[in-house]
Amino acid sequence: MKTMTITIERKPLTIHFDGKDMQVEELGIRLPFGRKPATMSEIAGSEDCTVYITETREMEPAEFDHFARNLLQSRDWLGGKGGYYGDGRLCVEVHAPGRPYLFIDPSGSDYGRYCARLG
């Protein structure tokens, strides 16, 4: 069986947000974000937003699966991050081998308040 790899452009940018300069990567496609999904299967959104990746968190598959089943759970590493920027969202990218990419905008909280997925 052939595996297809899809490459999505990422453009490095410096933005000014909340009174400071921040390094981000702008994802080359817009994604729909769901509000307060409890699990990855509940991510469904209607508002396509530009995704600005502020950091990437790599996980092992089991850790990712637990995270994806509990998106509303409080996590220290999400605290105070995210927010709106222009027509998009500042996101933490979460990924594990063999799993979809999740883009989490906690909008200042410490859980997956707004989430999008790719894959």
Task: Return the pLDDT at 72.
Answer: 97
Domain count, the chain: 1
Which pLDDT band holds residue 11 (cuts at 50, 70, 90)?
very high
Q: What is the pLDDT of residues 32-57, one digit of tens each?
A: 999 999 999 888 877 799 999 999 99
Residue 18 lies in a domain: yes
The chain-wide mean pLDDT, for the chain, equals 92
Residue 5 lies in a domain: no
Residue 4 lies in a domain: no
Domain that holds residue 96: 10-118
Residue 98 lies in a domain: yes
Report how far residue 25's alpha carbon sits from residue 10's, in angstroms, rounded to the nearest whole number: 6
Q: What is the pLDDT of residues 69-92, one digit of tens each?
A: 999 999 999 999 999 999 999 999
Residue 35 lies in a domain: yes
Report how far residue 11's alpha carbon sits from residue 24's, in angstroms, rounded to the nearest whole number: 8
Structure tokens at 108: 């200042």
Q: Is it the case that residue 2 has pLDDT exceeding 70?
A: no
Residue 55 lies in a domain: yes
CB neighbour list of residue 45: distance below 8 Å, 6 or more residues apart: 31, 32, 33, 34, 35, 116
Report how far residue 113's alpha carbon sits from residue 79's, in angstroms, rounded to the nearest whole number: 11
Using DSSP, state whether 63 is helix, strand or coil.
helix
Residue 14 lies in a domain: yes
